[in-house]
Structure 1
């Protein structure tokens, strides 16, 4: 017999959802059969599976240890030794949330089972701090709330708890958690703009196109910080947050990002690759602005968090001869 006592991270979900996580290798028909036969009970009573769980509820599985082991998949997690070689750059942390400055080149989430991403780093970090155990991972996995392209650096929100993942997901969907990016684009931009369009993704090439009509609308806002005759440092407010939105949207306006070989100007990129070793787009998720929030998120309510610009990006900013906004450009690192 195995008993699961419901913790805050497991509360609020249906019983059958929890069982499908815990017995992840079992077919749904097996789980519902065990419920009907009272081999799985909730608070000592027969259950159907659609009951919503509360903290302190008792779920008992009257199953052989061999059966539980057979239907429970091993926790997928990378070795601590491997992960500790890349420590997290934590901008802010409390009991609910982690804000991480992701370096360029790190995956936000795994594409393949063998990948190591921000999610795995977060899980290993929390296990090492003893905030979670491998047993906890059978029914709840800390995760991230927003994603960045592999070669985009900057702020990622990670949720330690279920309520955090749910709340941050809602804020992002409602666009009340504001996301600002820094990038360098080709051409001189003198005035702020709010631009609109429609985006379509080609799954085969993992490339998007922007047009003036379509089914998936996008919205981007930007303000020039510094410029010269050939390029501009922009502060971009990402409003809709679709795949490659900033890169493709600005390129469609005639202002491709520096270092972006997928949507950009290869000859221009090559000159900076030779001088500064720029090998991917200079795009950095620079700031997060939280709206007013209540408990348990009062510590981040109405707060703004900033992630330092990567060394490669900072070198280009610092050594460029800007015709306007020199001081403003140099202040973005702080």
Structure 2
């Protein structure tokens, strides 16, 4: 974390502060540096004070994408947090560890459970990253490398060093990683349908009284001005009665990509409360499936320090495995 050198540790939140960039933040973008230091401050406000020139790096104006370096001094103007945020800050996230799939000096890979956000925000007070930081107060650096939907379980990678974070994120951005999910869909998925190449568009559903609503995604034509090409590879893993268990590999990492692509083919994911079959979901809840059957099963990447290939798998959570076992036919076998 940065060292405060322009205001005392007990200074009010509304005072000007000067932060000195430490080892764990060297090379980070200015906007990301501030978002980490100004916990709870809305992103829109952080970008506004950067654009206005109120934030200074070594006494000069700087853009959001400026990289801060070790020893840089960052002036931060007075920032007043809403009472709601101050109340949350007074009640830190409960410390929690998660099942570890791999850990060394560079990274931590866990099996994230469903129903837990990866970070706080958008109505969620805390997530995996805040809970792990509370559980590991000795950790000098701990950051998310990528994200999973709150409803999705499975492999999640965190970096324990700044260098590991940037190298791993470069792999994710460059599509050099292999991400395979297990998804249970309604109906008999055609074994010959192996590639879905359909553009997606992200939008917000209007909320009440003009407030911003839920984030949603839909398939659009390639001529749509905000269309993002999205590619999903599908393999039938097993037939389970009225369902099909799929191995799904994504070549692009769009928001809700798997959920929207599979639903667009007439085979929504079991338990999906946004893009699924709501009548079917009610029936599944009575059968004991109270979550979406989507699991980040396998992740492949190169180790950030050695460059050696790493492949990790998170087994299906008990509730998903039990549901699949109940629907398996006596003669069913992997395809």
Does the alignment reach a TM-score above 0.5?
A: yes
Deviation at 1:306, TM superposition (A): 0.6
Question: Which residues in structure 2 correspond to 1:61-100 (within 5 Å)?
Answer: 83-84=94-95, 86-100=96-110
Alignment pair present for 1:287 and 2:294: no
Contact 2:271 2:284 in 1 (8 A): yes
Alignment pair present for 1:10 and 2:2: no
Please, what TM-score do these two structures have when normalized by structure 2?
A: 0.73
Structure 2, unaligned runs of 5 or more: 7-18, 206-213
**1:304 maps to which residue?**
311
Secondary structure of 1:290's aligned partner: strand
Alignment pair present for 1:208 and 2:217: yes
Cα distance in 2 for residues equivalent to 1:20 and 1:187: 44
Deviation at 1:11, TM superposition (A): 2.6
Distance of aligned partners of 1:252 and 1:122 in 2 relative to their CA distance in 1, 3 Å threshold: same
Question: Which residues in structure 2 correspond to 1:246-261 (within 5 Å)?
Answer: 246-261=258-273
Cα distance in 2 for residues equivalent to 1:79 and 1:246: 35
Deviation at 1:216, TM superposition (A): 1.1
**1:131 maps to which residue?**
139
Deviation at 1:89, TM superposition (A): 1.7
Alignment pair present for 1:242 and 2:254: yes
Distance of aligned partners of 1:97 and 1:229 in 2 relative to their CA distance in 1, 3 Å threshold: same
**1:122 maps to which residue?**
132
Cα distance in 1 for residues equivalent to 2:190 and 2:236: 6
**2:235 maps to which residue?**
223
Deviation at 1:145, TM superposition (A): 1.9
Distance of aligned partners of 1:142 and 1:269 in 2 relative to their CA distance in 1, 3 Å threshold: same
**1:40 maps to which residue?**
none
Deviation at 1:287, TM superposition (A): 0.7
Deviation at 1:157, TM superposition (A): 1.3
Distance of aligned partners of 1:77 and 1:229 in 2 relative to their CA distance in 1, 3 Å threshold: same
- The higher radius of gyration belongs to 1
Contact 2:154 2:295 in 1 (8 A): yes
Secondary structure of 1:217's aligned partner: coil
Question: Which residues in structure 2 correspond to 1:110-189 (within 5 Å)?
Answer: 110-112=120-122, 115-127=125-137, 130-132=138-140, 142-189=142-189
Structure 1, unaligned runs of 5 or more: 37-47, 62-66, 133-140, 330-334
Distance of aligned partners of 1:83 and 1:164 in 2 relative to their CA distance in 1, 3 Å threshold: same
Cα distance in 1 for residues equivalent to 2:31 and 2:238: 55
Deviation per CA, 1:97-126, whole angstroms, max 9, x where unpaired? 111211111011212486111120232233
Please, what TM-score do these two structures have when normalized by structure 1?
A: 0.73
Deviation at 1:325, TM superposition (A): 4.8
Secondary structure of 2:198's aligned partner: strand
Deviation at 1:87, TM superposition (A): 2.5
What value does the CA root-mean-square deviation take over the aligned residues?
Answer: 3.8
Secondary structure of 2:254's aligned partner: coil
Deviation per CA, 1:22-54, whole angstroms, max 9, x where unpaired? 699996656649737xxxxxxxxxxx8799766
**2:9 maps to which residue?**
none
Deviation at 1:13, TM superposition (A): 4.7
Distance of aligned partners of 1:252 and 1:88 in 2 relative to their CA distance in 1, 3 Å threshold: same
Deviation at 1:313, TM superposition (A): 0.6
**1:136 maps to which residue?**
none
Contact 1:145 1:168 in 2 (8 A): yes
Contact 1:194 1:220 in 2 (8 A): yes
Secondary structure of 1:236's aligned partner: strand
Deviation at 1:197, TM superposition (A): 0.3
Contact 1:14 1:49 in 2 (8 A): no
